[in-house]
Every structure is written in C-alpha cells, then in structure tokens.
Structure 1
Amino acid sequence: MKPFLTAGLAATLVLPAPASAAGPVFHDGFESPKVSGQLQRLPAGSHIGPWTVTAGNVDLSTAGLWQTPEGRQSLDLDGDANGAVATTVTTRPLTTYRITFALAGNPAAAPLIKTGEVRVNGRPVHRFTSDTRLTSLSRMGFTTRTFYVVALSRQLRLEFASTTRPVGWGPVIDDVRVDSCLVVLCGG
C-alpha cells in the first residue's frame, strides 16, 4: 500500500508502513486529575491533564473499577454520551510521527463491539474497534494500536472520539504516546 496525501488531510499524511522511533514528543496516561473513587464523569470543556473533553462526556476510571495497562487511571470515551478528548502536540513540519495507544472496551454492558476513531487536525485518520466478548473488569484485554502521520505544520491536534452505539459503555484508552520517527519514503 502506497502512502498518500489527499486534500482532506491538508495537515497530515497517513502512513501504513512501519517506521523506527527517534524520540518521544508526547506521553500521557490520563493520571491527572487523580480520581478518588472508581470513576469521575467529565463533561465537554473539562481538562484531563493536557487533554480537553471536546464532545459529550467521558469517564476517567481507576484501577479500582477495572484493570489498567499503565498507571492507575484510564479513559472510557463514553460517559452517558459519546465523548471525545483532544490535545495539541508541537511538531516539526515534514516529520513522521508514530502514535500509539492502549485500547480496550468497557465490558460492563452492550454493545459487545466498541468503536471509535482518531482524528488529526480534525480529519479521521484511524478507526478502531474493541471486542469485549472475552473480557471482564479484571481482564480488560488491552491491545496496543499504532499508526503514523507526517506533520505538515508545527502542530498536530490529536483527538480520540467514541462512535459506539448505543452509548454509555465505550472504548477505553490509555498510555497515549507520540514519537518522532525516522522513515524513508520510496516510490514504486
């Protein structure tokens, strides 16, 4: 599959090919603010460390509720509505970035398949699903997801959004990382 640039991705280029990491640019595991119980529902406009809730609401959940892959907290992208969170990462133009994150689904209720997407600068660049059939609160089944983008400006606005229907028990994310990469693009 060849890398491509479309008018719709004016600020990014999505790459399906692997690249080697050159260094971390951003890393966050939703550890701030510290939740005192099992979860805290946060509406649009709320801040979670470097993130802002941009749509609906989300549940910042702790290891007291379910297994977390990193740290003490993770983020359910559904509160009682489909939610979204975004942050801005400083980048260098024409540099490739590897974006990784841990993904599971809230197994507490239907649907079995949780869905969502990652948007970069407002454009969907990565869609994801998590199947909760063989998971539980103590064994969430987190997997690491990875994709690549090329920055064409000095900033990437990175947004994670739930598209799960019905709403209320969505995809769960944690350990979001952005690394600058060394990559060679070849024609052919």
Structure 2
Amino acid sequence: MDQLDLNTVILAQGGDRASQELLWRRHRGWLTGVLMVHAPRGDEVDDLLQEVALQFVRRLPALDKPASLPAWLRRIAVNTSRDAARRRESRPVQAGDATADLSDLCAGEPGGGRTREILNHLAELPTRYREPLVLRAVKGLTQEAIAEILSISVPAVETRLSRARRMLRDRLVKEEIIPSPRETLP
C-alpha cells in the first residue's frame, strides 16, 4: 500500500466520507470476488456486499494498522459470508428459495450452459485454490494484489493459481467438458 492509500485510510478513519467512498470504490470489485467464493448457495452477493460495506464504515475507525486494510476487508467479507451460511442453516428451506451461485454469472450468455458447468466445477474447488483463481480470472487482479488481499506471498499465489488451474482442468477433462490436452495437439 503506498503513502497516498495510507493517507486515504487515515482520513477515512477520521470520518471523511469522500475518503471512505474512494476506498470502497477501490476495493469493492475484488471483495465481490471474495464473496462469490465464500457465499453460501442462495445468498445474493449484492446483499452480502452491502453488509460488508456497513461493517467497513462502522469498524474502520478501530482498524489498528491502515496498511492492513485489504486483509482486514477480506476478513470482514469471509466472516460476513460465514454468518450468512449460519443464518441459512438455522432456517428451514422454503419452496422457491433462490439457488443463486457462481453459475448465475452466465445467465443469458451465448454458450451459457458450458460456462455454467465450468463455474459449477470452479465452485467445487477447495477455497484456498478457488479464491485466488476467482480473484485473478473473474476480477482480473494481479498476483501481487491477490497476495496482499490473502496475506500470503506472491510465490504462494502462483502455486495456488497453478494448482487451481490444474485441478479445474482435470475435472473438466474428466467430465468431458473440455478435451484432454493430449487430444488437441500432437
């Protein structure tokens, strides 16, 4: 995090609304990706994002280390998702409950069926691999940004991305959603 970002965080902690809005706009995109990874089936990511925004504004003054803002925001997003999952488990399932998940991204797209299958397999990956892959592939974040968000090293991000891609490719080949790399080139 550069000095300008640190100053923005400090101003936002002091209640400066413009700084809070600037920080939120800067981080909202990748937070959506984190929520997509961790959201329980049926919960709307937009609703969870709104809860994260409220927690961000309420708890920002208590943030001890302004430089840790991305990791702190990620923790809020993950905890918000877990809370939503607990609430969901504690209420009986109603007929007609939404079953939104990552596959909703492809609604109305040409070839959406194949995209839906791929996203469903992506959703089945372990969180430690799924999260960096979504942040990279869906949100377009750099490996450095992902490392900062996840509080891990860049080489760890590279390793997790490589393993996630391999796991996803293996699942897609097994289900015959994509051809085996050996079948496509001599």
Normalising by structure 2, report the TM-score.
0.24
**Larger RCO, structure (CA 8 Å, separation 6 or more):** 1
More strand by share: 1
> Which of structures 1 and 2 has the bigger CA Rg?
2
Normalising by structure 1, report the TM-score.
0.24
